[in-house]
Amino acid sequence: MPGSHGSLTKAGKVRQQTPKISKSGVNAVPKKPPRMRFRDLYIKRVIQRKYAGQPDSLGARRSRFGA
């Protein structure tokens, strides 16, 4: 077969030999879909008026002064 790069019998050889490593840390927890994540952020920021980070961050100052 002209134009082929190697034989098809060797396809996937390296991936099969590579050991499987389980996810750990931040990547171990599956992420929520964006719609659910933004909904949770809206509830936390707008309805509950809770902001993460420093107490003088822009979001915290806006919630404190009711703007």
Residue extents of the structural domains in the chain: 29-67
Residue bearing tokens 């077969």: 1
Instruction: State pLDDT tens for residues 18-63.
Output: 999 988 888 888 999 999 999 999 999 889 888 877 888 887 887 7
Rounded Cα–Cα distance for residues 38 and 30 (Å):
16
What is the predicted pLDDT for the residue at 2?
Answer: 61
Say if residue 45 is exposed, middle or buried (CB neighbours under 10 Å; 0-12, 13-18, 19+). Answer: middle
pLDDT of 1: 53
pLDDT of residue 34: 96
The answer to whether 33 and 27 have CB atoms below 8 angstroms apart is no
Single pTM value for the model: 0.49
Query: Where do we find the tokens 């171990």?
Result: 28
